[in-house]
């Protein structure tokens, strides 16, 4: 894999390019400048998101520790919490299994719909052929009796 420049370097390079490129109508300059600006905005938003994610992880760890301290003072609660966590995991696994089965069922339903459509088309075609054969047979029967 080729080494990659960091995003800040690319933004600076694009800003210089937007000023240095000679374009008769200035469209290339404007496009490069706007791309650099958007990259800079995305980089800033990404940094904010990462900071918020880190803060949320730190808060979650603090709350887990706090909950564990509270639970430690109640003798029967830790076992109950363990049982609840296991049950929650079981429910999550059951939900995932049901979602997977639902997806499989949807796919089977789509295949069945396609199969039914094909059967209906075949039925229509065969019905028309049968009607045509009946008309020919009935004409032949009349000729035989005449």
70 or 101: whose pLDDT is higher? Answer: 101
| DSSP state at residue 24 | S
pLDDT of residue 141: 63
The token duo for 35 is 């791309």
* Ranges of each domain in the chain: 1-73, 82-146
- Res. 55: pLDDT tops 90: yes
Measured CA to CA, the distance from residue 111 to residue 12 in angstroms comes to 54
Residue closest to 37 by CA, chosen among 63, 11, 61:
11
pLDDT class of 77 with cuts at 50, 70, 90: low
40 or 75: whose pLDDT is higher? Answer: 40
pLDDT of residue 67: 87
Measured CA to CA, the distance from residue 112 to residue 49 in angstroms comes to 45
pLDDT of residue 73: 72
Interior CA angle at 29 toward 25 and 32, to 5°?
140
Query: Is this prediction's pTM over 0.75?
Result: no
pLDDT in tens, 8-48: 999 999 999 999 988 889 899 999 999 999 999 999 999 99
Instruction: Give the lowest-confidence range in 9-23, 42-56, 78-92, 112-126.
Output: 78-92
pLDDT of residue 143: 57
| Mean pLDDT computed over 39-64 | 92
For the stretch 71-99, what's the b/e string if a residue is b when 16 or more beta carbons lie within 10 angstroms of its beta carbon?
A: eeeeeeeeeeeeeeeeeeeeeeeeeeeee
């Amino acid at each position: 894999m080729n080494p990659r420049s960091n995003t800040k370097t690319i933004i600076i390079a694009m800003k210089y390019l937007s000023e240095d490129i000679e374009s008769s109508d200035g469209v290339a300059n404007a496009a490069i400048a706007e791309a650099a600006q958007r990259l800079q905005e995305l980089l800033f938003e990404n940094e904010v998101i990462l900071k918020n994610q880190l803060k949320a992880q730190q808060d979650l760890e603090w709350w887990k520790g706090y909950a564990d301290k509270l639970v430690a003072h109640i003798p029967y609660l830790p076992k109950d919490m363990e049982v609840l966590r296991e049950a929650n995991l079981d429910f999550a696994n059951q939900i995932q299994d049901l979602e997977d089965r639902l997806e499989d069922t949807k796919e089977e339903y789509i295949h069945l719909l396609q199969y039914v459509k094909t059967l209906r088309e075949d039925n229509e075609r065969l019905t028309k052929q049968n009607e045509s054969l009946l008309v020919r047979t009935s004409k032949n029967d009349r000729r035989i009796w005449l």
